[in-house]
Structures are given as C-alpha cells and as structure tokens.
C-alpha cells in the first residue's frame, strides 16, 4: 500500500470541527487527499473501508481516550503513520503514544508550516517503507531458520525443493514464527518463477473491502476515496508467485472470488467489468486449523482443496533442539555487527537457558531475544540476564510432555510477557508476532 507523493491519503481525527476544518484546508492546499473523523467509532468505520498513509490523531476526543484509538489503529492499519496532536500540558501522554507506536507528535497550537512539514516527513517515510516491502517481496536468499540440522526440518526442506520446481499450489502450516514466510520465499527462489516477483499479502491486516481492492485492484471512482486506479497484487505477481500469509484470516465473503482465480486464473478489478488473466502460482500459510474452520463454516472446503495440493508442516522451534544454538549464534553475529557491539558468544548459563526455554514465539521470538541481548550486553559473553530470563525460570520451563496443554503454556507465557511490557506493540515484538495476531490471541485466550 504505497503513498502517492503529494496525493498521499491523510486521515484527520479530532472532535473539534474548527480544527478539522483548518487542518483540512491546509493539507488539501498541498494536494493531499484528506478525510476527517470526529470519534473513535467513525475512525474505526473509515479504516474498515479505506486505506490511509498517515493520520493526525488528537489525544483528547471528548470522553474517549486517544491512546485506545491509537491501539485500534495499530491493529486495523499497522502500516499507517500516526502523528499525535496534543496540548502542551499533555506532553507525557504524547510520549506514551510514541511508545505505543505513534510516529511523532505536534503540540497545539501548531502552525501551518509545522503541519505541512509533519505530513511531508511521514508520507516520505511511508513511501520508503512501501518500497522496502516491495523489495522484500523479490527473490531473497533463504535465511533465518531455513537451513537446519534437525531431521524433521531437513525432510521438510527436501520435499520443498522437489515441489518448488512444479507449479503446484502449496499450503505451509506451522505455529507463528516458525519461518513459514521464509520457506515460501525460498520455494519461490528455487522455482522457475524466481526471476519474477514474489508478492505477499498479509491477510489479517485487511478487511474484506480492502482485501478485494488490494488483491485484484480497482478502477478510479469504484468507491469513496478511489481517486486513482490500482493494478492490484495479482497483477504485480503475474509470471511469479502470490504468497497469502495467514490464509485462515482471508474473508469468507471473498473466498469464492479467490477460488475462481485459482481455478481459472481470471479476475475483475473492483468497479471494472473487464475480465483479466494472470499467470500466478499460489503459496499460502497459516497457523490455524483449516479443517476445523471448514467444519465450523468459516472456510470453504473447495478452496482448501485447491490450496493444499502440497502441504508442508513446519515443526516448532521446541522440536528443533539441534537448531536453537545454531540460530542463536547466527543472530548474535548479525546483530553485534549491525549495532557494533562487543558480544562474542553465550556463557554456560545463557546456553542452558536458551535450550531449556519453550520458545512459543519460535524463531521470531528467538531473533528478538538475541537482538535485545546483543544491544544490552556490555562485554564479550551474553548472560541469562541479557536474555531477559532468570536461570531458574528458564531451566524450570515446562518441556514437551509436561502436564500442561499447549494452550495453557501459550496463555501463561503471553500473560507473563504482557505483564512485563509497557505496550501491546512491545509485547507482540517480544513474542515474535504482529500486533493483530496478539490482539486475536488475547481474545481467544481470555487475557
């Protein structure tokens, strides 16, 4: 979802009509597309129907808390740059908002120049982020967690290399953070389509309305705010691979259109009756039980059959004990180089802690823990304290076979991380999952 230079899409959220009017005139004079909202409910509704590149959010929305609105924005539109607008007396709240994921803040009263500068800065960052996302969709050398010494993982990789040379659709299963996205990109890199794009869609981050437009594109004027035509991700992936990440969250109402495209390679853009064709290989991944979703009526059985021509199930990191230290040392070497830090390795206690821990966030959580340790370790050897876990706690962590279900283990761990985190974003990063996944897990587990 790229910003479009001076036609960047800006959302203004404030409960004062005069401020909304002033900000809107100022930004529209610069050529930006501006939409306004005066409440949390209106903001949530707009984010379900439209895509914005950035937002100016007032922390005081009548009786509503702007921080709660910000948290909801982070779930609905994690790519959107948010600038907090606050009174001088509420600077502390602005700092809290920055820690919760806001990009910057402005203090009222702010001048037109300050407003224009803030918009230009955040839209430029959004453009750079969009370009980086596009580059990451291109062929990449298989990396984190793909090469392995674990027999189970090695067998999966051997099968993946064999099927990569075909055009068969592949469904990749596994817990969050096990490397499903990395494996998908590796399969693309091993395929005959490697010189074309591997385009990713993160299904949980898009509503049904946005998903159809993002996937197939739309014509100008197809809906409110559609001031320009877009080609869609299917068009971008023509000749290459389309990776549907977390396919279990793909909107049920759109599944017939996805099924038709997979079967016939044909589609229409939103608001355009012309039928188009695209030669795209489909890879999909999920951490959910799609068969159970079919039984519950939340996923189409015929779509599942089309997706799982080949199924690859990635083992969790706790079942890849042979890989934990290899990955930890690889991450450490990378981060000490990136941050110019002195650490050379792990001491005995840290090594034991790494091997004893369950790693519910899998490779992604391990990477985040090692990144933190590489930054705060002042000497050559990383200790347990730098990992953020005590030796007794780490060594007594329940292993596979303990008298706790996986759901109980997951709930206990997420609760502990939440208790030691200042924000949901921080907790999600520690767990190695995105904020929308954490939001869903909290609801599922009753946290």
Q: Which of 411, 417, 413 is nearest to 443 (CA)?
A: 411
Distance CA 44, CA 76 (A): 8
362: alpha, beta or left? (left if phi > 0; alpha if psi -120 to 50): left
pLDDT tens string 137-157: 444 444 555 778 888 888 898
pLDDT at residue number 182: 92
Query: Of 44-58, 135-149, 345-359, where does the model show the most confidence?
Result: 345-359
Distance separating alpha carbons of residues 226 and 438, to the nearest angstrom = 31
What domains sit in the chain, N to C, each tagged with a CATH number?
A: 5-135 (3.40.50.2300), 151-313 (3.40.50.300), 317-445 (1.10.8.60)
Higher pLDDT among residues 225 and 354, named by residue: 354
- In three-state secondary structure terms, 32 is coil
CA–CA dist 129, 43 (Å, integer)? 23
Checking if the pLDDT of 225 tops 70, the result is no
130-to-53, 369, 396 alpha-carbon distances in Å = 10, 27, 43
The residue behind tokens 């000490």 is: 336
* pTM, 2 dp: 0.60
Q: What pLDDT is recorded for position 78?
A: 76
Q: How far apart are CA 32 and CA 51, in angstroms?
A: 14
Does residue 61 carry a pLDDT above 90?
no
Choose between 232 and 398: higher pLDDT. Answer: 232
Structure-token match 């809290």, residue found? 96
Assess whether pLDDT exceeds 70 at residue 280: yes
Res. 391: pLDDT tops 70 = no
In sequence order, what are the residues at sequence separation of 6 or more whose Cβ sits closer than 8 angstroms to the Cβ of residue 279? 238, 239, 265
Q: What is the mean pLDDT of residues 229-241?
A: 90
One-character DSSP codes across 363-410: HHHHHHHHHHHHHH--SSEE-HHHHTS-HHHHHT---TTSSS-HHHHH
Is the omega angle on the peptide bond into residue 257 within 30 degrees of 0, that is, cis? no
The answer to whether residues 198 and 185 touch, using CB atoms and an 8 Å cutoff, is yes
pLDDT per residue over 405-420, tens digit each?
556 666 777 777 776 6
Confidence of residue 397 (pLDDT cuts 50, 70, 90): very low
- pLDDT greater at residue 90 or residue 271: 271
Of the candidates 142, 137, 122, the one whose C-alpha atom is nearest the C-alpha of residue 80 is 122
The confidence band for 5, taking pLDDT boundaries of 50, 70 and 90, is very low
What is the distance between the alpha carbons of residues 398 and 413, in angstroms, rounded to a whole number?
A: 11
């Amino acid at each position: 979802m790229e910003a479009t230079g001076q036609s960047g899409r800006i959302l203004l959220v404030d409960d004062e009509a005069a401020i909304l009017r002033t900000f809107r005139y100022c930004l529209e004079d610069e050529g930006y597309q501006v939409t306004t909202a005066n409440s949390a409910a209106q903001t949530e509704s707009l984010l379900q129907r439209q895509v914005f590149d950035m937002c100016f959010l007032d922390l005081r929305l009548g009786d509503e808390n702007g921080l709660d609105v910000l948290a909801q924005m982070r779930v609905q539109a994690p790519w959107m740059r948010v600038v907090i607008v606050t009174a001088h007396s509420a600077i502390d709240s602005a700092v809290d908002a920055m820690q919760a994921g806001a990009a910057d803040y402005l203090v009222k009263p702010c001048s037109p120049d300050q407003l224009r500068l803030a918009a230009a800065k955040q839209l430029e960052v959004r453009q750079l982020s969009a370009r980086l996302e596009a580059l990451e969709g291109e062929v990449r050398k298989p990396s984190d967690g793909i090469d392995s010494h674990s027999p189970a993982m090695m067998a999966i990789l051997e099968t993946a290399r064999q099927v990569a040379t075909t055009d068969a659709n592949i469904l990749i299963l596994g817990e969050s953070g096990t490397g499903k996205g990395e494996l998908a990109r590796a399969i693309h890199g091993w395929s005959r389509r490697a010189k074309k794009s591997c385009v990713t869609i993160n299904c949980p981050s898009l509503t049904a309305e946005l998903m159809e437009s993002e996937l197939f594109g739309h014509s100008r004027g197809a809906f409110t705010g559609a001031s320009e035509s877009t080609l869609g991700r299917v068009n971008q992936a023509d000749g290459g691979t389309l990776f549907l990440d977390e396919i279990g969250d793909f909107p049920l109402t759109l599944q017939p259109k996805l099924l038709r495209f997979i079967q016939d390679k044909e589609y229409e853009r939103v608001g355009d009756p012309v039928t188009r064709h695209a030669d795209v290989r489909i890879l999909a991944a999920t951490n959910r039980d799609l068969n159970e979703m079919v039984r519950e009526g939340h996923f189409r059985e015929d779509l599942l059959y089309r997706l799982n021509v080949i199924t690859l199930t990635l083992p969790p990191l706790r079942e890849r004990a042979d890989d934990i230290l290899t990955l930890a040392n690889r991450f450490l070497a990378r981060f000490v180089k990136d941050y110019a830090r002195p650490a050379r390795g792990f001491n005995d206690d840290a090594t034991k802690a790494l091997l004893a821990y369950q790693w519910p966030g899998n490779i992604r959580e391990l990477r985040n823990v090692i990144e933190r340790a590489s930054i705060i370790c002042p000497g050559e050897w990383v200790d347990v304290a730098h990992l953020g876990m005590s030796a007794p706690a780490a060594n007594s962590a329940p292993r596979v076979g303990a008298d706790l279900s996986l759901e109980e283990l997951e709930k206990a761990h997420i609760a502990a991380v939440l208790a030691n985190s200042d924000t949901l974003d921080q907790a999600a990063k520690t767990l190695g999952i995105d904020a929308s996944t954490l939001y869903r897990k909290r609801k599922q587990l009753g946290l």
